[in-house]
Structure 1
Amino acid sequence: MKGLKKKRRIQIIVLAFAALALSAGLIGYAFQDGINFFRSPSQVAEAPPGPDEVFRLGGLVEEGSLERGDMIRFVVTDGGASVPVTFVGILPDLFAENQGMIGTGRYVNGVFEASEILAKHDENYMPKEVIDALKEQGVYEAPES
């Protein structure tokens, strides 16, 4: 009788670990399309991602590079490298030259094709990833308080 209880307990533990492993695998599979890696223009220039990889690109919009029309074109820089960007859609109200931005999209034939553009929300805010990338290049200046 004692051996039967021990065997049943081991079966339950093994079944629980199998269910946990299956759950973790299904969660990972569900999230694989939702995880976007952040890159700075210098990182994109050093190791260009494939055209099928969706990622986030962040930096400052170069002055004089913004062209509005059916397709919006501009250049994003971190001081070390620049990446041309195209976007079809409506830009955020606070989007402007010499301001921080983060875009989600793909890098195809040397151009970042953005599907979404995010801009800063006030004069003192810049996304943490953009600040870190600009500090790495030595071009970040903290806003005056």
Structure 2
Amino acid sequence: MTRKQRRLTLIGSAGVVLGAALGLVLYALSGEIALFKTPTEIVEAKAGFAERLRIGGLVEEGSVVRSEAATVSFAVTDTVNAVPVTYVGLLPDLFREGQGVVVEGRLDGAGIFRADNVLAKHDERYMPKEVVDSLKAQGVWEGEGGKAAN
């Protein structure tokens, strides 16, 4: 083998190793990617989503139902549409009706969102931009500058 052939073989094998490492990293991250949707986008799609999702909005007033085994059912709304959510586990201290929330999980065939992670927000400044824009468009935004005009 000449010197040039050894160098090309070394560069080629390094490229294969880097390509395999990149492929493994992307495969590992693909299970952690969660698309953000509003309740209206979920309802209007009328189709189950196979991938992980994040749904953001407000916890609908009067929708929180606690049952045995730390199971909690509630609805996340953007004041136009609501998506029913079930969660098994301990909820954050800031979780309550009318409060901003982001839930992460999967939508099942019955249209119920099975959350495996619940993030409660203490005010709207930390809500995702899509939820803030939706609340502003509906005139219920209570962020900076007070409540928006209807």
Provide TM-score, normalisation by structure 1: 0.81
Using the aligned pairs only, state the percent identity: 38
Name 2:25's counterpart in structure 1: 27
Q: How many Å separate the matches in 1 of 2:41 and 2:131?
A: 9
Task: Determine the C-alpha separation between the residues in 2 that align with 1:83 and 1:124.
Answer: 19
For 1:64, give the aligned amino acid: G
Measured after TM superposition, the shift of residue 135 of structure 1 is: 0.7
Would you say the 8 A contact 2:124–2:143 is kept in 1? yes
Question: Does residue 87 of structure 2 align to residue 114 of structure 1?
Answer: no
SS at match of 1:68: strand
Over 4 Å off, 4+ runs: none
Segments of 5+ residues of structure 2 without an aligned counterpart are: 146-150
What CA RMSD, in Å, does the superposition of the two structures yield over aligned residues?
2.2
Q: Hey, what does 1:98 align to over in structure 2?
A: 98
Q: SS of the counterpart of 1:20?
A: helix
Q: In 2, are the aligned partners of 1:61 and 1:77 still within 8 Å (CA)?
A: yes
Superposition pairs of residues 1-145 of structure 1, within 5 angstroms = 4-47=2-45, 48-50=47-49, 52-70=50-68, 71-108=71-108, 109-120=110-121, 122-123=122-123, 125-128=125-128, 131-136=129-134, 138-139=137-138, 141-144=141-144
Tell me the TM-score normalised to structure 2 length: 0.79
For the 8 Å contact 2:124–2:132, the answer to whether it is kept is no
Number of residue-to-residue matches in the alignment = 139
- Cα deviation for residue 142 of structure 1 reads 4.6
